[in-house]
């Protein structure tokens, strides 16, 4: 296991909680931010704060250059063919809502949308609503007892009536790494008219991305899951898929010309970015990408995988602890339950020892129902976690078990 230490780049991690040095294992909810991201956003507000694309003065020009440089950096990071195929949103949730709301306008009764029981609510509820409003039918592929998508069921639910297919690259609740290439191939074979959206919120930091090679119609992710700021996200789309979408919101920036008689909408990407954008957020996302490009990411991802594997083995050996979800391929997450102890109580006891984890249904109630549980304790790792964090988690768990 590598001894590379990037923890010092993240100021928040230096603090103590309840008298103990912080061990932050809630990274699937949000990651911490390196100093370079904080500095980039502060610099914008201190020196370049102006609206973009709309003025001839120096501050506006600098702000515009910084935001569009961030867009270009993101495009390169994910392998997008062109920066204009990168749409800035408020996060994965808005990205999915954008696509769902726009595609719903072309749905008719009898059309079908296929999702999976593994989805985060943000990749389930928008499609549920699209079906409710259009009369389309929502199909849901099941999950196995190990916490993997049931590919037989997924395949069986594809049909010539399928118009949209949406699924996660990585499960936020279990860490399951889904076979997205295989699933895409199945969709293209069985439902060639369907548009495919992949929720990449949990994958963007941990899995190398090449959206051009992957060739999904849409790919969505959030800045705050990859060392960037909250309230900032990305929707990547194939050019033909984006150009076929009607606008999602209306107002300034997304128009080219307005008269009393007609409106002409702007070109990509601006037709989907109505109003003043989150300029500082875009700059922060660009800085996060720049930071990720400077660290030995592959090496740190392997360390993270080793920590997750070690955590699973150690927790499985603890009396009264049950792992929830044992997929063959996993990224970043370990979910578990303690016999006789409520997940929230476990999380509270860990917090008292300075260990931050997440408890509850993790916005995946259909998945929890399919697995027969109400929720789990979720420890989620990131690139700055190391063996000492795992040791602290295990020590805290041993102590917690004595109270339950």
The pLDDT of residue 353 is above 60:
yes
The pLDDT of residue 404 is above 90:
no
Look at residues 335, 333, 346, 337 and name the one whose alpha carbon lies nearest to residue 307. Answer: 333
Per the annotation, the verdict on 131 as an active-site residue is no
Question: 92-117: per-residue pLDDT in tens?
Answer: 999 999 999 999 999 999 999 999 99
The band of 376, judged by pLDDT with boundaries at 50, 70 and 90, is very high
Q: Where in the chain is the domain with CATH 3.40.640.10?
A: 39-292
Calculate mean pLDDT across residues 356-361: 98
Question: CA geometry: angle at 90 spanning 87 and 95, to 5°?
Answer: 55
The domain 7-25+296-401 is classified under which CATH number: 3.40.30.10, 3.90.1150.10, 3.40.50.740, 3.40.630.10?
3.90.1150.10
Pairing of strands 137-141, 23-24: unpaired
C-alpha distances (whole Å) from 402 to each of 377, 379, 395 are 17, 20, 11
Please enumerate, as own/partner, the contacts of 150-158 that have beta carbons within 8 Å and a separation of 24 or more.
Answer: 151/179, 151/182, 151/183, 151/186, 154/114, 154/116, 154/183, 154/186, 155/186, 155/190, 157/112, 157/114, 158/114, 158/186, 158/187, 158/190, 158/191, 158/194
Calculate mean pLDDT across residues 41-55: 95
Residue 88 near residue 269, CB atoms below 8 Å: yes
192 contacts: CB under 8 Å, gap ≥ 6: none
Question: 157-166: per-residue pLDDT in tens?
Answer: 999 999 999 9
pLDDT in the model for residue 3: 76
The band of 55, judged by pLDDT with boundaries at 50, 70 and 90, is confident
The first and second tokens of residue 3, run together, are 């001894």
pLDDT in the model for residue 2: 61
Calculate mean pLDDT across residues 263-287: 97
Question: 225-268: per-residue pLDDT in tens?
Answer: 999 999 999 999 999 999 999 999 999 999 999 999 999 999 99
Average pLDDT taken over every residue of the chain? 97
pLDDT in the model for residue 246: 94
Calculate mean pLDDT across residues 283-292: 98
Question: What is the DSSP secondary structure assignment for residue 121, as one 8-state letter?
Answer: G
Catalytic residue among 100, 363, 370, 393: 363
The domain 39-292 is classified under which CATH number: 3.40.190.10, 3.40.1360.10, 3.40.640.10, 3.30.70.20?
3.40.640.10
Please give the radius of gyration of the chain, using alpha carbons only, rounded to the nearest integer.
Answer: 22
Question: 302-315: per-residue pLDDT in tens?
Answer: 999 999 999 999 99
The band of 33, judged by pLDDT with boundaries at 50, 70 and 90, is very high
The band of 54, judged by pLDDT with boundaries at 50, 70 and 90, is confident
Calculate mean pLDDT across residues 40-63: 95
Calculate mean pLDDT across residues 67-90: 98
pLDDT in the model for residue 140: 98
Q: Where in the chain is the domain with CATH 3.90.1150.10?
A: 7-25+296-401
The band of 24, judged by pLDDT with boundaries at 50, 70 and 90, is very high
C-beta neighbour count of 9 within 10 angstroms: 18
pLDDT in the model for residue 218: 98
């Amino acid at each position: 296991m590598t001894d590379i230490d990037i923890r010092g780049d993240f100021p928040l991690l230096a603090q103590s909680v309840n008298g103990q040095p912080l061990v932050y294992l809630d990274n699937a909810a949000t990651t911490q931010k390196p100093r370079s991201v904080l500095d980039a956003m502060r610099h914008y507000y201190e020196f370049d704060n102006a609206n973009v694309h709309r003025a001839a003065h120096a501050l506006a020009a600098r702000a515009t250059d910084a935001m569009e440089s961030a867009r270009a950096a993101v495009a390169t990071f994910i392998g997008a063919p062109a920066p204009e195929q990168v749409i800035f949103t408020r996060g994965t949730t808005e990205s999915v809502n954008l696509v769902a709301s726009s595609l719903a306008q072309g749905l008719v009764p009898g059309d079908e949308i296929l999702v999976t029981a593994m989805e985060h609510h943000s990749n389930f509820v928008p499609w549920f609503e699209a079906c409710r409003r259009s009369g389309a039918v929502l199909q849901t592929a099941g999950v196995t007892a190990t916490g993997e998508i049931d590919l037989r069921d997924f395949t069986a639910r594809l049909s010539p009536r399928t118009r949209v297919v949406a699924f996660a690259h990585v499960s936020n609740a279990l860490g399951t790494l889904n076979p997205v290439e295989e699933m895409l191939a199945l969709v293209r074979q069985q439902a060639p008219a369907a548009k495919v959206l992949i929720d990449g919120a949990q994958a963007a930091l941990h899995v190398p991305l090449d959206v051009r090679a992957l060739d999904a119609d849409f790919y969505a992710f959030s800045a705050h899951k990859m060392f960037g700021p909250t309230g900032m996200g990305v929707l990547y789309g194939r050019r033909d898929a984006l150009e076929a979408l009607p606008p999602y919101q209306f107002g300034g920036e997304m128009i080219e010309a307005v008269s009393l008689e007609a409106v002409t909408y702007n070109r990509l990407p601006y037709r989907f970015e109505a109003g003043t954008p989150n300029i500082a957020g875009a700059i922060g996302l660009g800085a996060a990408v720049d930071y990720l490009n400077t660290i030995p990411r592959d090496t740190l991802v392997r360390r993270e995988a080793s920590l997750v594997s070690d955590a699973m083995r150690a927790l499985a050996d603890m009396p009264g602890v049950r792992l929830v979800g044992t997929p063959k391929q996993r990224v970043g997450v370990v979910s578990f339950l303690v016999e006789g102890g409520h997940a929230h109580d476990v999380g509270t006891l860990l917090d008292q020892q300075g260990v931050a984890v997440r408890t509850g249904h993790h916005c995946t109630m259909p998945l929890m129902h399919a697995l027969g549980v109400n929720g789990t304790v979720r420890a989620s790792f990131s690139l700055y976690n190391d063996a000492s964090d795992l040791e602290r988690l295990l020590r805290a768990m041993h102590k917690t078990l004595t109270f339950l």
